[in-house]
DNA sequence: TTATGTGAAGTCGTTCACAGCC
DNA sequence: GGCTGTGAACGACTTCACATAA
């Protein structure tokens, strides 16, 4: 599967999927699942790409990094392609997720049905606020609905170890995010999704993805403003 | 400010800021504000870039699209640079935001302090659920804390008109997102932030940004899985 | 001397256009 | 004939390295 180049880490052949492609695979996967639920069995790159909001050329190029899963002159078998994308994404096996911070955002994540259906299991909830600790939330685990009790922040390390969680979600205020992050990493977590509006400092080998709600709005505002300028200019 | 090239739309000179740069400006801005609050008056590209998680070369290149706001041999004046970035982003003037869907996610947005501090004002809340309609939430408007009452989905168009909102946030379940989107666009909204896991179909001229929480997790899972393979390979 | 600002080089991603296969 | 899969051309972004200015 992988060949060594003699120096540095072994470099995979045929597995070097560009980041931009990886970022789109989940969308392809989601749309394929919805097509499957609608009873569609075969789909062309043109039709599928349109539903995903990308060009058909980009879609085919993306798939070419995974393999040849289509049939020329026909299109793609929906379930066959779904399987291969989900395999590539690793959503075949379930990933354990620990959520730190059970405020409104944490609750939104817990109640988000999309998680379980895409191979994620919330296996732990932690909060520092005494009022929240002890509260229970419904979450699904291996298909069954279970009640998850919020545990105190102090239990973070133990819980990660007990649940063998692989992914940590930081849904705390900004000022405690770095501390929580350090403790997640110390517990062995190497994949972190950060909602706090701070740049987290981590050791190499740990991957952090961030979602900053205000940043997205600011990008929208930038374009909105620019549109205003353009309109002014065209009125001249 | 803009020159016409004879055919097509006029192309701006000196204003063609790359998307990748625009996406980073909010981060620079946020870090600058925090430096300012810490009493720092001058900062080098090296130091600032480190705090933003980017290379200093990238940072300087980004700034070069805005203008020359530094001093060679010295660095950048924090407040001067903050001003110019916020001006470019349009966060000098406040933007009106309407939130559709007041579930846990909508509430998380309402309670998110970062919005108001970065030039956004939540001016309207809409929900379709009778239990939620009529509830009040504290939001800040022009510095003052006001109570915002959730109005029924039917009032969406009227509310957008009344409040002159420029940005719409869709925090509804996936199945009503497209309908809400169409109504926002019909009301005159041209900037939409979509949290529902669907690809929205909009007319050209409308900008949609999407945040899909599960997609971010899936990208993490992809890399986590690949790490597993790599480890396996190195054990051979 | 120090740190910015920026052409030039290099890398990455997208689009094109068509060969290859059904 | 139709649609996939993909080299090649193109464009966007990043990194480099240094001229430039305080």
Q: Is it the case that residue A5 has pLDDT exceeding 90?
A: no
User: Are B176 and B71 part of one and the same domain?
Assistant: no
Nearest Cβ partner of A222 from B22, B51, B190?
A: B22
Average pLDDT over residues B180-198: 97
C-alpha separations of A104 from A108, A206, B103 in Å: 6, 27, 9
Sorting pLDDT into bands at 50, 70 and 90, what band is A77?
A: very high
Q: Is it the case that residue B3 has pLDDT exceeding 70?
A: no
CA A68 from centre of chain: 25
Residue B220 lies in a domain: no
User: Are B110 and B187 part of one and the same domain?
Assistant: yes
Of A79-93, B4-18, B173-187, B196-210, minimum mean pLDDT range = B4-18
Q: pTM surpassing 0.75? A: yes
CA distance B223 to B215: 13
**Are B199 and A103 in contact (CB < 8 Å)?**
no
Of A17-21, A74-78, A232-236, B206-210, minimum mean pLDDT range = A232-236
Residue A229 lies in a domain: no
Contact A108, A102 (CB under 8 A): no
User: Are B61 and B118 part of one and the same domain?
Assistant: no
- Nearest residue to C5 via alpha carbon and C1': B64
HEC readout, B160-178? HHHHCCCEEEECCCHHHHH
CA distance B58 to B148: 42
State the nucleotide closest to A43 in CA–C1' terms.
Answer: D3
CATH of the domain at B6: 1.10.10.10
Where is pLDDT greater, at A3 or B84? B84
Task: Name which of B14, B107, B199, B214 to mutate to probe chain A: the one with the most chain A Cβ atoms within 10 A of its Cβ.
Answer: B214
- Nearest residue to D17 via alpha carbon and C1': B57
User: Are A78 and A149 part of one and the same domain?
Assistant: no
Query: In A, residues 126-165, which contact B (CB 8 Å cutoff)?
Result: none
How many CA atoms lie less than 13 Å away from A18 in the CB half-sphere? Answer: 10
User: Are A136 and A175 part of one and the same domain?
Assistant: yes
Q: Residues A139, A196, A169, B230: what is their CA dihedral angle, to the nearest 10 degrees?
A: 160
Query: In B, residues 96-125, which contact A (CB 8 Å cutoff)?
Result: 97, 103-105, 107-112, 114-115, 118-120
Where is pLDDT greater, at A106 or A112? A106
Task: Give yes or no for B216 touching A (CB within 8 A).
Answer: yes
Average pLDDT over residues A178-191: 98
Average pLDDT over residues B129-144: 90
Domain that holds residue A69: 2-89
Q: Is it the case that residue A57 has pLDDT exceeding 80?
A: yes
Amino acid A11: pLDDT: 33
Task: Give yes or no for B26 touching A (CB within 8 A).
Answer: yes
Task: Give yes or no for B213 touching A (CB within 8 A).
Answer: yes
Per-residue tokens: B59 = 């940072």
Sorting pLDDT into bands at 50, 70 and 90, what band is B86?
A: very high
State the nucleotide closest to A46 in CA–C1' terms.
Answer: D3
Identify the burial level of B152 via C-beta atoms within 10 angstroms of its C-beta, where 0-12 means exposed, 13-18 middle and 19 or more buried.
middle
**Final residue belonging to a domain, choices B71, B89, B107:** B89
The residue of chain A with its CA nearest to that of B233 is: A2
What is chain A's mean pLDDT, rounded? Answer: 91
User: Are B59 and B135 part of one and the same domain?
Assistant: no
User: Are B70 and B123 part of one and the same domain?
Assistant: no
User: Are B162 and B78 part of one and the same domain?
Assistant: no
Per-residue tokens: B107 = 């509430």
CA distance A228 to B143: 25
Where is pLDDT greater, at B66 or B93? B66
What is chain B's mean pLDDT, rounded? Answer: 91
Give A111-165 pLDDT, tens digit per residue: 988 888 899 999 999 999 999 999 999 987 777 889 999 999 999 999 999 999 9
Contact A32, A82 (CB under 8 A): yes
Amino acid A235: pLDDT: 58
Mark the nucleotides of strand D covered by protein, meaning any atom under 7 Å from a CB: 1-7, 12-17, 20-22
Residue A228 lies in a domain: no
Contact B184, B160 (CB under 8 A): yes
Amino acid A232: pLDDT: 63
Element counts in chain A: helices (H) and strands (E): 9, 13
Average pLDDT over residues B88-97: 92
Residue B70 lies in a domain: yes
Task: Give yes or no for B46 touching A (CB within 8 A).
Answer: no
**Are B218 and A15 in contact (CB < 8 Å)?**
no
Residue A233 lies in a domain: no
CATH of the domain at B100: 3.40.50.720
Give B157-172 pLDDT, tens digit per residue: 999 999 999 999 999 9
Residue B205 lies in a domain: yes
Q: Is it the case that residue A190 has pLDDT exceeding 90?
A: yes
Amino acid B48: pLDDT: 98
Residue A50 lies in a domain: yes
Task: Give yes or no for A184 touching B (CB within 8 A).
Answer: no
Q: Is it the case that residue A108 has pLDDT exceeding 80?
A: yes
The residues, ordered by sequence, that sit 6+ positions from B176 with a Cβ below 8 Å of its Cβ are B128, B196
Amino acid A228: pLDDT: 77
User: Are B81 and B110 part of one and the same domain?
Assistant: no
User: Are A108 and A202 part of one and the same domain?
Assistant: yes
Task: Give yes or no for B167 touching A (CB within 8 A).
Answer: yes
Please state the domain count of chain A.
2
Q: Tokens 């600058």 label which residue? A: B32
**Final residue belonging to a domain, choices B49, B72, B89:** B89
B197 contacts in chain A (CB < 8 Å) = 30, 114
**Are A217 and B167 in contact (CB < 8 Å)?**
yes
Amino acid B229: pLDDT: 67
Amino acid B13: pLDDT: 44
Average pLDDT over residues B185-199: 97
Top-ranked range on mean pLDDT: pick from A113-117, B150-154, B231-235? B150-154
Q: Is it the case that residue A178 has pLDDT exceeding 50?
A: yes
Amino acid A106: pLDDT: 97
- Integer distance in angstroms from CA A58 to C1' C17? 14
- Integer distance in angstroms from CA A72 to C1' C21? 6
User: Are B201 and B118 part of one and the same domain?
Assistant: yes
User: Are A59 and A162 part of one and the same domain?
Assistant: no
Of A148-157, B61-70, B112-121, B189-198, minimum mean pLDDT range = B112-121
Average pLDDT over residues A173-182: 97
Residue B222 lies in a domain: no
Amino acid A117: pLDDT: 83
């Amino acid at each position: 599967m992988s060949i060594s180049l003699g120096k540095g880490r072994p470099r995979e052949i045929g597995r070097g999927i560009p980041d931009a492609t990886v970022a789109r695979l989940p969308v392809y996967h989601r749309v394929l699942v919805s097509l499957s639920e609608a009873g569609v069995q075969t789909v062309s790159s043109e039709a599928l790409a349109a539903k995903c909001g990308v060009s058909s050329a980009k879609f085919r190029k993306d798939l070419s990094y995974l393999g040849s899963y289509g049939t020329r002159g026909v299109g793609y078998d929906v379930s066959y392609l779904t399987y291969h994308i989900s395999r590539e994404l690793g959503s075949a096996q379930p990933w354990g997720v620990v959520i730190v911070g059970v405020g409104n955002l944490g609750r939104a994540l817990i109640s988000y049905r999309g998680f379980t259906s895409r191979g994620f299991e919330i296996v732990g909830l932690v909060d520092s606020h005494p009022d929240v600790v002890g509260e229970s939330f419904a979450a699904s685990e291996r298909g069954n609905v279970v009640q998850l009790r919020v545990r105190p922040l102090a239990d973070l390390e133990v819980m990660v170890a007990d649940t063998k969680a692989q992914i940590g979600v930081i849904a705390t205020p900004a000022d405690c995010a770095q501390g929580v992050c350090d403790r997640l990493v110390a517990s062995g977590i190497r994949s972190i999704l950060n909602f706090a509006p701070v740049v987290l400092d981590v050791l190499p080998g740990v991957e952090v993805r961030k979602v900053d709600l205000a940043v997205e709005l600011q990008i929208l505002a930038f374009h909105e403003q620019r549109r205003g300028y353009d309109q002014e200019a065209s009125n001249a």
